[in-house]
Chain A
Amino acid sequence: MNSIIEIKDVSKAFGGVIANQSISINVAEGGITGLIGPNGSGKTTLFNSIVGHHPIDSGSIKFEGAEISTFKVQQIARLGLLRTFQQTRIYSKMNCVQNMLISIPHRTSGILDMFKAHSPETNERALELLEFVGLFSKRNLIAGDLSFGQQKLLEFAMALMNEPKVLLLDEPTAGINPTLINGLIDRLKMANEQFGVTLFVIEHNMRVIMNLAEHIYCLAHGELLAEGKPDDIQNDQRVVDAYLGAH
């Protein structure tokens, strides 16, 4: 399979803290790739580097073969590389439908498009996706009034509305009711298979990530510790040690 994201020797330090050190990762096109690691191991930092949230110190990040490590956040988003936030972010004073409507792709929108009305198809699509994540009944509520888990689902729906090529999900199941997690896994898989979105997922829940991902990378102390198929990772002594803090 082709790699849609190629990360090579990326390093990033905050003052004295080395959050990422010479990390190389490939995300396969059309697949689901996992990223795990103990708290503070640099996973979110890596996501931030990919989407242009901060400059990297060294290394290269390629998306569809083109270097993007100097691009700005918006440019990268418009290329079709989107992320959700660990601390869930939605437009808190707008209702769910409005949140969805403004999440349409902005790739080709010109300056006059801002004066267009919302097409009925867009409306329909927004409602469809809200139904897809199970928020249809909440559609007219102000998004800031939703529970944390519901906001997480809304954020996921908004990301799908944007029709990204790759979606970086930062802990999609954190804060979601355990009984709903299986449903969410199914939806992630459906997004991947039916909408053709490549997924790159940070996850602490081992059961979820082993179930979901085809290939997993493990970070520890800002370095790449291991990579491989879910089974290999699960049985890798270094990974087990890292999680138990025996490092």
Chain B
Amino acid sequence: MDNISLLTMAPVLNVQLLVDGLLIGAIFALVAYGLALVWGVTNVKNLAQGDFVMMGGYIAYAMTLAGIHPFLALPVAIVLMFAFGWLIYKTVIYRVVDKDLFTSLLATFGIAIVVQQLLNLIFGPEVKIAESGFGIGEYLDGGLTVSNIKVIAFFLALALALVVVLFMKKSRMGQAIRATSQNARAARIMGIDTDKVYAITFALNAAICGAAGVLISMIWVIQPYFGTSYSIRAFVIVTAAGLGNLPGVIMAGLGLGALEQFGSFILGAEFQQAIVVGLLLVILVIRQIQQSRHRQVVK
């Protein structure tokens, strides 16, 4: 709690936390956008979301081990994770996509465990970072320090999101995806191969996660078990913003990033997970109160 007084004594610290939070929040938003995409189209709530992110991160890490710059990992991770997502859909998800929601939730939970454990067996439990070799920028007379890679990653995340949004709006596949998410039955009648749409959506989401993971491996740290908190973050954001609400997802992502920075600064870094989980519970309770005014429940 002493840290609160620190914040009032050194106002520039607030700026530091805010900037850090917003920069990382953009990546949270990207991951959450992927989750919302799969959720909206296939109705599968992917609990392995964060673990896909970690996979992307480890692809970047593995490439730096081979002496390749992590930027180059971005396209590699996108392609590999797209293939991986496709494979997972064709082996597991297609079996549960029309089953009750708990079944698909649990299936993705199983995937999450397998991915975590395999990463752990391959790379070990230590935290890793993909060194990008960029310097640190100083602003406000040195009161605010931001590593350049964070800024670059922020804009890369925005650019990626923009590409995905354009794909959804302009391409034929994107339109098929949107049609399916609105009414799968009608889409089928119109001759859309919904199974293919589901597979592509799932793969696309995995690719988005992979890209986000590459960014995170450069600006933060990765670890086999850190995926879970990214999954929870994505759920927090989507639950707060609602499905099909892109501006909401972005706002919630940036907000969550900032809140987390302030929270863990004040309470201590060991409470980061607790803060995210606490936030999830708070949002669920708020949503319930909103719904009960409509005599409805949160479904």
Q: Which residues of A contact B (CB under 8 A)?
A: 52-55, 72-73
Q: List 10 A-B contacts (CB under 8 A).
A: A52-B295, A53-B295, A54-B294, A54-B295, A54-B296, A55-B293, A55-B294, A55-B295, A72-B295, A73-B295
Closest to A73 in B: B295
Task: List 7 additional contacts besides A52-B295, A53-B295, A55-B295; criterion CB under 8 Å.
Answer: A54-B294, A54-B295, A54-B296, A55-B293, A55-B294, A72-B295, A73-B295
List of B residues within 8 angstroms of A53 by Cβ? 295
Closest approach, in angstroms, between the C-beta of B297 and any C-beta of chain A? 11
Interface residues contributed by chain B, number (CB under 8 Å): 4
CA distance A52 to B295 in the complex (A): 8
- B293 proximity list for chain A (CB < 8 A): 55
Residues of B within 8 A of A (CB): 293-296
Q: Which of B294, B295, B296 has the most CB of A within 10 A?
A: B295
CA distance A104 to B270 in the complex (A): 53
CB A168 to nearest CB in B, in angstroms, measures 17
> Complex: how many Å from CA A52 to CA B293?
12
Closest partner residue, chain A, to B293 (CB atom) = A55
User: Cβ of A52: which chain B residues have Cβ within 8 Å of it?
Assistant: 295
Q: In the complex the two chains form, what is the Cα distance from A27 to B296 in whole Å?
A: 27
User: Which residues of chain B have C-beta atoms less than 8 A from A54's C-beta?
Assistant: 294-296
B293 vs chain A, min Cβ distance (A): 7
Query: Shortest Cβ distance from A19 into chain B, in angstroms?
Result: 14
A85→B293 CA distance, assembly (Å)? 23
Find chain A residues with CB under 8 A from B296 CB: 54
Distance of A239 from chain B, by nearest CB (Å): 32
Chain A nearest Cβ from B289, distance in angstroms: 14
Nearest-neighbour CB distance to chain A for B102, whole angstroms, equals 15
Which residues of chain B are near A72, meaning CB under 8 Å? 295
* Docked pose: A55 CA to B296 CA in angstroms: 10
- 7 closest residue pairs by CB, A with B: A54-B295, A55-B295, A54-B294, A52-B295, A55-B294, A72-B295, A53-B295
Min CB–CB distance B290 → chain A (angstroms): 13
Contacting residues, chain B, for A55 (C-beta < 8 A): 293-295
